[in-house]
Structure 1
Amino acid sequence: MVVNIPGVIGIVVFYIIIVVIGIWAGKNKKGDTNDLLVAGRSLGMFVATLTTAATMVGGAYINGTAESMGRDGLLWTIGPVGYNLSLFLAALIYVPKVRKAEYTTIFDPIQEKYGNRTGGLLFIPELLGDLFWEAAIFNALGATVSIILGLEMSIAIIVSAVIVIVYTFFGGLYSVAYTDVIQMFFIIIGLVIALPFAWTNPAVDFSRISNTWPGEMDSNQIGIYIDTCLLTLGGCLTWQAFYQRILACKSVTVARNSALLGAVISALMAIPPAAIGVIGAATDWNMTSYPQNSTLSYEDWAFILPMVMEYLCPLTVSIIGFGAISAAVMSSADSIVLATGSVFSRNIYQNCFRPQASDRELTWVLRFSIVVVGTLGAVIAISANSIYGLYILCADAMYVVQFPVLTCALWVPFANTYGAISGLVVGTTLRVLGGEPVLSFPAIIKYPGYNDTLGQIFPFKTFAMLSCTFSLLSISYLTEYLFTKRKLSKKFDIFNCYGPQSSQCKNDGNDISMTVKTEDDVKNETDKFLNN
């Protein structure tokens, strides 16, 4: 494999620019946990909007969109549509409530409702989702590097992970937000410049796909389609990487409006990679210097975006396009490592184990978490083989468990720890036993219509989510009734949901009260909820 020296030089310069901007953005800040986690709640409309859009428009977003559009058609390019609708709904429904409460992470209301230890346990779906998302992003970069620059995928993944870790380590959300702004412009410029060159290449013949680009769906795929649509729609409503920006905004109004605008920009940014996917499907690869035959395998489609840039565009344009993908990778990867590290340092380490931890101690726990999460994501990326598969999978655990858990924590008065734990167990069990082809997990439970070729065609992920929700609500209501109506002695209240004690956790000097309500309080709130 021949190394593209000009391309390597170009990407080195790009990486240096990003590192310098990232360190500069964070160097003059106090460096305490409030700055690192929510940037002192100082983000204005411009920065908040672009960093929200850039968080969504990652390497997995643009590579995965091109892959799905080229291989499966418009109908099956569900990810960008569902995720951006999810952001839009979150902006209207969830954002005003959580920003007004001035939480530090999205796990604060979860721990407030269900207790610190249970909230820590519910961090597992977030961790899995973040690791899969990060792996998809780094995998997209590695695929691009191997084709355009002629370097090994593992080298690109490791180097990019190190760069992301370094500037996030020192600057926290300040560095992440301000580098996101620069990276967003790189993404726009790189993709837009590549489009006309690829579109007009002689090897591209759109008559080849005149009947296939919209996509097709058999009747036995309807359940899969519905499941994927709902998964992407609900999977982003609870994402810490998104709420980290929202909670850092100057006001509730800025938070809501920046989220809405960010969703619009993110949706528009799906158009160039989707067009590149169509171009890839319309290309006669025998007319290019691509060293394979004209029929692309299933695995080849994961590389369609860098292939179009490399074989259908001039060298300079392909290098600029690679800069766009690198920018997209970093704009999401830094968000992920910071988001996961934030939850671990505050909601796990401080709230569960070290409530007396100093600000300096928490800062170093956060930085340690950033290193660990960044490393794990890179390791998964090196062994993965489907960008779009990981891109969809990253919302899976969030949809099945965290979506109902957070929603009930914010709006259901009688939701309690017993219900949350039962929901976690039920939802996780049904989801895991349903199998997962991307991770080579076999299906233990074969839902109705199971097909040896297609696998599960029943919308079992949505079934698992609904089962989690039903379990959470029913067990919460049952235990609330038993303890408040004195049908069951409070000595059996092992989680102290209805006892006389109350626990407190600190939120940068503001109490997040986890006060245990009296029987009359719970009854009044429950009656009010049911009557409404």
Structure 2
Amino acid sequence: LIGGLFFVNPMRSKNYVTVMDPLQETYGNVMGSLLFIPPLLGELFWFAAILASLGATMRVILDIGGSLTIIVSACTVILYTLLGGLYSVAYTDVIQLWICIPFALVNSATESIYYTATHQSYQDPWIGKIEKQYFGRWLDDFFYLVLGSIPWQTYFQRVLSAASPRQARLISYFSGLGCFSMAIPSVLIGAVAASTDWNQTSYGLPSPLERGESAMILPLVLHYLCPAYISIVGLGAIAAAAMSSADSALLSAGSMFAHNIYRKILRKKATEMEVLWAMRTSMLVFGAGAAGLVFYSSSVYDLWFLSGELVYALLFPQLCCALFIPSTNSYGSAAGFMVGLLLRLLAGEPALNIPPVICYTTCSLVNGTYSQVFPFKTFTMLFTLGTIMAVSYLAVVLFQRNILPRRWDVC
């Protein structure tokens, strides 16, 4: 919704092709190349996370080795994207997933989710509550999800390819409603899992929560609480959703590299056909690299979350300044990038065992791990925004008043 209200018109009015175009136009190709890194890492880690999720689902439902499913899935998505470009099948995915839910709800091992929402049965009530001391973290995550999802090429490649600005805005508005409706099946499946006596199923005890398999709850519910033919339908929905998301991520990374790096920096006189082949080659390389990450790293989800936070902290303020504060310049952009990167990394990341160097207020030690309760992601984003504006203004003053010699102005 926010993207449609504030970002669609400025992006379309100047005929931009990628989210990196306004950044390169405002801050130059050098800074544009630097700012290309966070979204590229985000797309690669997202692609790897999708493959890992699909592999885990097939391993549970079809009892197929995870390595084989990852290789087959990666090859299929890469070939599908190279040949087809951007075709989404998300709507049929949701319909297929909705079909599975009634079967899980009426399973004899499952208690009423209305009762377990507020009463303890096989585990605590599945409707939780926000503790007062964690309100700042929840607010931080809220702004991170709302604003941090805007500066991604996967979003802009849809609104920029729409037939008209009005259609682009409508896509954004309806996508917001669609995201809400598409989250309902996930909530219901989680509620069913929390309301199930797993000892009555072939899965047995301890429960998925106690085994640390909560991340695999979707395939577990499909496999153990639904008939076999319904599990296959659900698997089809997951596979189709994976294809839809993965091809968007791959196309996004390839188009940004071909248009913003290859054409604008490496080969400024490249023909359209040459750029197209550069995009196809980069998609092949990025896809193979992301698939390799799944084999050699057990933390692809954590890496994706961290790269997503870097996009929020570094790229979102840069995009806002490039579109709405044209007086900012490369000096401010570089300073904001370095300050934002430093602040985010020094805040630590428990999932990757990175201890915090900066312990913000209300930071606490829980089970030997520091927990940041202060909304440091949003603080980092706002501090980056302020740094870009302040340093840009300072640079203009220093050079215009000849406090620094003009020959030092390299941007």
For Structure 1 versus Structure 2, the TM-score category normalised by the shorter chain is over 0.9
Q: Give the Cα separation in 2 of the matches to 1:472 and 1:227.
A: 21
2:118 is matched with which residue: 186, 205, 210? Answer: 210
C-alpha distance after superposition, 1:87-125 (max 9, x if no partner): x11011101111121111111111000001111111111
Q: Give the Cα separation in 2 of the matches to 1:479 and 1:109.
A: 21
C-alpha distance after superposition, 1:279-328 (max 9, x if no partner): 01111110111154236237310011111110000000000000000111
Gap change, CA 1:322 and 1:384, over 3 Å in 2? farther
2:404 is matched with which residue: 479, 488, 497? Answer: 488
1:463 is matched with which residue: 374, 379, 402? Answer: 379
Task: Give 1:464's aligned amino acid.
Answer: T
Task: Give 1:254's aligned amino acid.
Answer: Q
Q: Is 2:311 the counterpart of 1:395?
A: no
Identity %: 41
Partner in structure 2 of residue 197 of structure 1? 103
Q: Give the Cα separation in 2 of the matches to 1:384 and 1:140.
A: 14
Partner in structure 1 of residue 65 of structure 2? 152
Q: Give the Cα separation in 2 of the matches to 1:348 and 1:185.
A: 33
Task: Give 1:340's aligned amino acid.
Answer: A
Partner in structure 2 of residue 428 of structure 1? 341
1:126 is matched with which residue: 36, 39, 43? Answer: 39
Q: Secondary structure of 1:115's match?
A: helix
Task: Give 1:197's aligned amino acid.
Answer: F
TM-score normalised over the length of structure 1? 0.72
What is the 5 A alignment of 1:470-485? Answer: 470-485=386-401
Aligned residues: 401
Q: Does the 8 Å CA contact 1:299/1:386 hold for their aligned counterparts?
A: no
Residue 386 of structure 1, CA deviation:
7.1
Q: Give the Cα separation in 1 of the matches to 2:392 and 2:181.
A: 42
Partner in structure 2 of residue 451 of structure 1? 364
C-alpha distance after superposition, 1:200-225 (max 9, x if no partner): 00111134442422213333322221
Residue 393 of structure 1, CA deviation:
4.0
Task: Give 1:482's aligned amino acid.
Answer: L
Q: Give the Cα separation in 2 of the matches to 1:490 and 1:188.
A: 59
Q: Give the Cα separation in 1 of the matches to 2:201 and 2:362.
A: 43
Q: Does the 8 Å CA contact 1:190/1:320 hold for their aligned counterparts?
A: yes
Gap change, CA 1:385 and 1:216, over 3 Å in 2? farther
TM-score normalised over the length of structure 2? 0.92
Q: Is 2:80 the counterpart of 1:167?
A: yes
- Would you identify which runs of 4 or more consecutive aligned residues in structure 1 move more than 6 Å? none
Partner in structure 2 of residue 142 of structure 1? 55
Gap change, CA 1:263 and 1:306, over 3 Å in 2? same
For structure 1, list consecutive stretches of 5 or more residues without a partner in the other structure.
Answer: 1-87, 496-532
Task: Give 2:410's aligned amino acid.
Answer: I
Question: RMSD of aligned C-alpha atoms?
Answer: 1.9
Residue 338 of structure 1, CA deviation:
0.7
Q: Give the Cα separation in 2 of the matches to 1:224 and 1:258.
A: 30
What is the 5 A alignment of 1:67-82? Answer: none
Q: Give the Cα separation in 2 of the matches to 1:269 and 1:391.
A: 21
Q: Is 2:333 the counterpart of 1:416?
A: no
Residue 189 of structure 1, CA deviation:
2.7
Q: Is 2:350 the counterpart of 1:437?
A: yes
Q: Give the Cα separation in 2 of the matches to 1:224 and 1:331.
A: 31
